[in-house]
Amino acid sequence: MFVKILYFAVFVGLGIAILRYRKVVFEWTGQWYWAEKHIWRGGTILVITLIGVGMIFFWVAYPLWAFENFGKRQGWGTFESAYDQPESPSLNGESNSETR
């Protein structure tokens, strides 16, 4: 738990610093060609801002266990297919793996 709080403090502080000093970060990194081309003029500043906001969002949610069950199937909303079920013995004694 202490490590999560430490990560929270460090990375949220870094995200806030990126937001506060985004012009300085822009001067340090320069223009990003793909951001200027695909977003619009000034796209690099927007991407730097989104990185800062994303860092704050992720590192606020992480200590609150928002991602503990991420990717695990649980609850009534899961959809199971026939391949997820264990094999049942066939009536004539043959293996079902041959019929799949």
Residue 19 lies in a domain: yes
Residue 48 lies in a domain: yes
94 and 36 in contact (C-beta within 8 Å)?
A: no
Residue 85 lies in a domain: no
Query: How much is the pTM?
Result: 0.61
Residue 72 lies in a domain: no
- Domain holding 56, by residue range, is 2-64
Give the residue, 99 or 71, on which the prediction is more confident: 71
Residue 11 lies in a domain: yes
Residue 91 lies in a domain: no
The predicted structure's pLDDT at residue 81:
55
63 and 5 in contact (C-beta within 8 Å)?
A: yes
CB count within 10 Å of CB 19 equals 16
Q: What is the DSSP string of 43-87?
A: HHHHHHHHHHHHHHHHHHHTTTTTTTTTT---STT----GGGSPP
47 and 83 in contact (C-beta within 8 Å)?
A: no
Considering its fold, how many domains does the chain have in total? 1
pLDDT in tens, 12-54: 999 999 999 999 999 999 998 888 888 888 899 999 999 999 9
